[in-house]
Structure 1
Amino acid sequence: MPNDASSDQLIQSLTRKGIQDQRVLAAIAKIPRERFVLDEDAEEAYVDTALPIDCGQTISQPYIVALMTQAFELTGDETVLEIGTGSGYQTAILSQLCRHVVSIERHEALAQTAQSTLSDLQITNVSYRLGDGTLGCAELGPYDGILVAAAAPKVPQSLVNQLRNGGRIVIPVGEESSQSLILATRTPQQLRVEKLCDCRFVKLIGAEGWPASDG
């Protein structure tokens, strides 16, 4: 279980930074982040920073996890697609806030570790897929929300196509070295786009992302 003082300090920090959704804050307080970081980084689990994980990937900064999650305004009845299971931490947060999570990871080792951790935490409302996240998972859609935990040169059209009307996609978009985190809402006519903040994520590799030869 998390160190109470450290967890409390993180929640206070997130609140000061503008995270106001009490359900999001409660989920972050509940999920033990130290279970999702490397053993040598356990003491840093409740510091508001990104940390390295296996396969050259990262576990996102808690503020970014909270900001992305808050942008969906989840009520508990949604189905959310997550691109990039990674450590499984963001997956765990989403699992507390919506009806069902579909999570896709391209690295088998990460996917297996995340599934094991989430199983240990008795999180059961997640479906896992191994493969190209840029193509989504149409057979389990459409989705109320799509969270992309890696940076794309543009919003993948396959993901847009799997959003319900009124559904939201949160995704970092831009160059390799820096991106804008955007919230895009699907309307019958177009995507309505809002910038949330500047950010820097690992690259989204796939048919509608960056080529694997670059990653």
Structure 2
Amino acid sequence: MNAPTSPEALRFNMIEQQIRPWNVLEPQILELLSVVRREDYVPAVHRSLAFFDMELPLGDGRESGQCMLSPKVEARLLQDLQIKPTDSVLEIGTGSGYMAALLAHRAAKVLTLEIDENLARQATQTLRENGVANVEVRHADGAKPLASGPTFDVILLSGSVARVPQNLLGSLNIGGRLAAIVGEEPMMRAHFITRESEGKWETRQPWDTVAPRLLNFPEPSRFSF
């Protein structure tokens, strides 16, 4: 009878068989993925699936439909945002807190917003238990306009939207980057938007994927004439 495969072996296979083939090749990102234990952020009922190429439901998995993104999508977003050690980051959609933990290892500080109060509370506890100190989890609806005040070097939407939220672009510093998965099934595109200067933006759409919706962001009208 074969012994169970260790988490270390499963993590290695996840990186080598899922993440590298998706053009995630930056050594520091790959090292980070081997250090931050994804299984610590996965709900206990799904922990055996922590390293599989799939989205994992959060909470009860029924009411909100919220879930963790697949490992390769998380890794590619993290790599393509090119986060610097001095960056301040805003994440919309905390979920389990795993992506916030990855961001926190790359950035100076992270503010992450979660619409589900239970998920926000659980993520706060999980991050604390894993020694991640530079993340603030806030129970808030990221689809609502941000209060005037702080701006950010990086904004990440950890889920999909029908269109890029224009109000969030105004919360980017000069040189700041926003990442969002935009469009509708069966095919969406990752958008990376850089604020090059006042009133000047550069947009890249380098890869396709599909991701679950973030709650409460506008959807296009379904009516036709």
Taking structure 1 as the reference length, what is the TM-score of the superposition? 0.89
Q: Which of 195, 213, 216 matches 1:203?
A: 213
**1 CA distance for matches of 2:147 and 2:176?**
15
Q: Does 1:24 align with 2:16?
A: no
Matched positions, count: 209
TM alignment of 1:88-103, pairs within 5 A: 88-103=97-112
Deviation track 1:123-171 (CA, whole Å, cap 9, x = no partner) reads: 1101122222124645562111100012222111221000011111010
Q: Does 1:62 align with 2:66?
A: no
Aligned to 1:154: 163
Q: Does 1:190 align with 2:200?
A: yes
Equivalent pairs: percent with the same residue? 29
Q: Which of 109, 123, 141 matches 2:118?
A: 109
> Contact 2:123/2:137 (CA < 8 Å) preserved in 1?
no
Unaligned runs of 5+ in 2: 1-5, 221-225
> Contact 1:138/1:162 (CA < 8 Å) preserved in 2?
no
**2 CA distance for matches of 1:45 and 1:134?**
28
Secondary structure of 1:134's partner? coil
Q: Higher Cα Rg: structure 1 or 2?
A: 2
Aligned to 1:7: 11
> Contact 1:87/1:110 (CA < 8 Å) preserved in 2?
yes
Q: Which of 168, 191, 194 matches 2:177?
A: 168
Taking structure 2 as the reference length, what is the TM-score of the superposition? 0.85
> Contact 2:183/2:189 (CA < 8 Å) preserved in 1?
yes
Secondary structure of 2:153's partner? strand
Unaligned runs of 5+ in 1: none
TM alignment of 1:42-61, pairs within 5 A: 42-54=47-59, 55-61=64-70
> Contact 1:176/1:203 (CA < 8 Å) preserved in 2?
no
**Post-superposition shift, 1:175?**
2.4
**2 CA distance for matches of 1:196 and 1:135?**
28
User: Which structure has more helix as a fraction of its residues?
Assistant: 1
**Post-superposition shift, 1:10?**
1.5
Question: 168-177 or 131-140, which moves further after superposition?
Answer: 131-140
**Post-superposition shift, 1:73?**
1.0
Aligned to 2:223: none
